[in-house]
Amino acid sequence: MRQFVLFFPLLAFVVISLAGTATVEAATGLNPPVKLVWHYYKVTNTCDDAETYIRHQVENFYRNDSSIAPKLLRLLYSDCMVNGCDASVLLQGPNSERTAPQNRGLGGFVIIDKIKKVLETRCPGVVSCADILNLATRDAVHMAGAPSYPVLTGRRDGGVLNADAVDLPSPSISVEESLAYFKSKGLDVLDMTTLLGAHSMGKTHCSHIVNRLYNFKNTGKPDPTMNTTLVSELRTRCPPRTKKGQTDPLVYLNPDSGSSNRFSNSYYSRVLSHNAVLGVDQQLIYNGDSMEITQEFDASFEDFRKSFALAMSRMGSINVLTGKAGEIRRDCRVTNANYGA
């Protein structure tokens, strides 16, 4: 039994024990330089109760619709992993980031817009949309069962990013391609394996898995790594092709949690038993490090929760704008130059 220690700022030491002898190289904290601040709006005396206002709104939304947890998680991922956590994904426009094919079906925008309106009435022009998105996601996933991890704040909002700049990968890539993508963002194999665990809740379109069900790599057969029972179940919901005018059906990423949208480690047991819905998830067993981490998280929900806290903080610090960079939008949907236009 081997142990490696993760330093998690403002909490303590997070210890994850992995069975076996392989060496997993993992980060021990946020990537330097860390330009964000703990309770920024309180420390700067600009909006003391900003985080309380955000939490209250999230709680109100969550009581009516628990699906806001996976929706906000995906929205934050789609923002941070493309150009950094600058809330550019929230901007509207005919060729904006949110119109990219990879962002089809993104949700959670209404929640962020509502929170922003509330904050603008209490602390006008102070709280960034980027911070709102990070804080609201933390609060929503906490209500779903994740840890209430610290969110450092002080981000500022970025400008318009065109749809063709979105480089989010296909959900059918290999584990090597997935790891290369995460590494290009300053994240590592532990971050990747942990953040993919967010697929313990939420839905995906059938178009993302139809190749696994019917014609894997042009073989005319289903993905041989997929449990045959799962193939049969998903085929009842996902036809080999949609008819003209027919919508692309949605299926649960984790049928074990389904509509409850509970954050759990059951995702990892599904991966180990070849019951992952997305190809990229099933691929975790084909890399020594991600396989070892998957086995550990399957055995210990607490280890997964601790690692999730660190991974979310690391993702939330990617290419942030601080100081005089960027702006504080008055409306999350438009830059200040277009505000009121």
Question: What integer pLDDT is reported at residue 260 of this predicted model?
Answer: 87
Among candidates 2, 233, 208, which has minimal Cα distance to 105?
208
| Segment 270-289 mean pLDDT | 97
Per-residue pLDDT tens digits for 143-193: 999 999 999 999 999 998 899 999 999 999 999 999 999 999 999 999 999
Q: Does any domain span residue 25? A: no
Same domain, 52 and 163: yes
Half-sphere exposure of 325 (CA within 13 A, CB side): 13
Do residues 206 and 155 both lie within one domain?
A: no
Q: Where do the H-state alpha helices sit in 40-151? A: 40-43, 50-64, 68-83, 109-122, 129-143
* Residue located via tokens 């929760």: 305
CATH classification of the domain holding 217 = 1.10.420.10
Same structural domain, 181 and 140: no
Residue 144 lies in a domain: yes
Question: What's the average model confidence in pLDDT over 188-199?
Answer: 97
Residues 59 and 152 in one domain: yes
Over 60: is that where the pLDDT of 5 sits? no
Residue found under tokens 């911070």: 131
Structure tokens, 91? 């901007």
15 among annotated binding-site residues: no
Nearest-angstrom CA–CA distance, 324 and 319: 14
Q: Residue 151 gets which letter from DSSP? A: -
User: What pLDDT digit, counting tens, does each position of 70-118 carry?
Assistant: 999 999 999 999 999 999 999 999 999 999 999 999 999 999 999 999 9
* End residue of a domain, out of 168, 185, 220: 168
59 is in an annotated binding site: no
Catalytic annotation, pick one of 2, 55, 63, 74: 74
- The answer on 237 and 177 residing in a single domain is yes
Nearest CA-CA partner of 278 in 255, 257, 306, 262: 255
Told to judge if 74 belongs to the known catalytic residues of this protein, a careful annotator would answer yes
What are the beta bridge partners of residue 153? Answer: 37
* 79 labeled binding residue: yes
Cα(300)–Cα(60) distance, rounded to whole angstroms? 31
For the segment 118-141, the average pLDDT, to the nearest whole number, is 97
- Is the residue at 322 inside a domain? no
Same domain (yes/no): 177, 311: yes
Q: Is residue 331 part of a domain?
A: no
pLDDT tens-place string over residues 208-239: 999 999 999 999 999 999 999 999 999 999 99
Residue 254 pLDDT exceeds 70 = yes
88 is in an annotated binding site: yes
Give percent above pLDDT 70 in the chain. 90
Total domain count, the chain: 2
Same domain, 133 and 178: no
Instruction: Report the distance separating Cα 134 and Cα 122, nearest Å.
Output: 19
Cα separation of 233 and 226, whole Å? 12
pLDDT of residue 25: 59
**Residues 195, 223 within the same domain:** yes
256 known ligand binder: yes
Last-in-domain residue among 143, 168, 193: 168
Residues in the chain: 341
Same domain, 176 and 53: no
Q: Which domain holds residue 148?
A: 37-168
* Token digits of residue 44: 């700067």
Which three-class secondary structure state does DSSP give residue 251?
strand
